[in-house]
């Protein structure tokens, strides 16, 4: 399974904003973006002018990094979104949100999508009673996600249960009960990622 293995804080600095890729660390004083908000590299502080193509590229890179996808994965997701009915950009964000690793993160399991992805890969979750260890697995409205019985006793999952997150309205459940449900496909207004999907569509449409 391909994944990014470089320095995560460089990604936030390159995009010029916090992407919250390290969970709790991003909220503290150790956040690299707080100390050095300019782009990485020897020319990072000198980059000012950016073309229309550059703006579109940065928007695509930002979305990739928020959801933890590499280029080929992201392009395949875009191609799927293009074939669906409706607005391509909105379809893209909906497909990204419905990935199992993202849903697990939204339900409160994991301080970041990267951690949630690792938990899925290690087989800690069931979808409709069946073990699924593929982070890119697309959940559907009505699917029930639960933590495996053996995993519930671990200190990690006990910590999640003691610190529940507020859920988006398209999800229901509670980490304390180790169960969550996808109530509906999220609408665009339910997706709170700071991404302008129209720019991504313009980039791929060239």
* pLDDT tens digits along 163-178: 898 999 999 998 889 9
Element (H, E) at 103: helix 100-106
Q: Are residues 85 and 110 in the same domain?
A: no
Please tell me the predicted confidence (pLDDT) of residue 91.
97
CATH of the domain at 115: 3.10.290.10
Q: Give me the residues paired with residue 146 across strands.
A: 126, 179
Structural domain contains residue 132: yes
Domain that includes residue 36, residue range: 8-96
Question: What SS3 state is found at 131?
Answer: strand
Domain assignment of residue 52, yes or no: yes
Distance of CA 171 to the CA centre of its chain: 15
Can you give the pLDDT at residue 4?
A: 54
The per-residue pLDDT for 20 is 55
Structure tokens at 163: 């610190």
Summarised one tens digit per residue, pLDDT across range 27-62 is: 555 555 555 555 655 455 556 678 889 889 989 999
Predicted confidence (pLDDT) per residue in 1-35, tens digit: 455 555 655 565 555 655 655 555 545 555 555 55
Q: Do 109 and 77 lie in a common domain?
A: no
Tell whether 178 and 117 lie within a shared domain: yes
Residues 12 and 69 in one domain: yes
* Distance between CA atoms of residues 127 and 143, nearest Å: 7
Residue 108 lies in a domain: yes
Residues 109 and 180 in one domain: yes
41 with 77, same domain: the answer is: yes
Q: What is the pTM of this model?
A: 0.80
How do beta strands 171-174 and 144-147 pair? Answer: unpaired
**Quick check: is 109 in a domain?**
yes
Is the residue at 193 inside a domain?
Answer: no
HSE-up (13 A, CA, CB side) for residue 52? 5
* pLDDT of 114 above 70: yes
Strands (E), 98-196: 125-127, 130-131, 144-147, 171-174, 179-182
Report which of residues 187 and 6 the model is more confident about: 187
Domain count of the fold of the chain? 2
Q: Give the Cβ contact number of residue 47 at 10 Å.
A: 13
Asked if residue 108 and residue 87 are part of one domain, the reply reads no
Looking at the structure, do residues 13 and 85 belong to the same domain, yes or no?
A: yes
205 domain-assigned:
no
User: What integer pLDDT is reported at residue 50 of this predicted model?
Assistant: 80
CATH number for the domain harbouring residue 32: 1.10.1050.10
Whether residue 91 sits in one domain with residue 120: no
């Amino acid at each position: 399974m391909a994944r990014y293995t470089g320095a995560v804080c460089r990604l936030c600095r390159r995009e010029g904003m916090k992407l919250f890729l390290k969970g709790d660390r991003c909220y503290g004083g150790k956040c690299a973006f707080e100390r050095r908000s300019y782009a990485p590299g020897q020319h990072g502080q000198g980059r000012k002018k950016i073309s229309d193509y550059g703006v579109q590229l940065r928007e695509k890179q930002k979305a990739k990094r928020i959801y933890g996808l590499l280029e080929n994965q992201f392009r395949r997701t875009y191609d799927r979104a293009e074939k669906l009915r409706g607005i391509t950009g909105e379809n893209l964000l909906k497909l990204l949100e419905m990935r199992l690793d993202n849903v697990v993160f939204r339900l409160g399991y994991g301080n970041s999508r990267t951690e949630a992805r690792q938990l899925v890969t290690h087989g800690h979750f069931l979808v409709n009673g069946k073990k699924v260890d593929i982070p890119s697995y697309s959940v559907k409205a009505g699917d029930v996600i639960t933590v495996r019985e053996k995993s519930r006793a671990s200190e990690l999952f006990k910590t999640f249960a003691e610190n529940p997150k507020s859920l988006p309205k398209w999800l229901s459940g509670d980490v304390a009960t180790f169960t969550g449900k996808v109530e509906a496909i999220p609408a665009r207004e339910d997706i709170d990622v700071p991404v302008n999907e129209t720019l991504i569509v313009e980039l791929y449409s060239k």
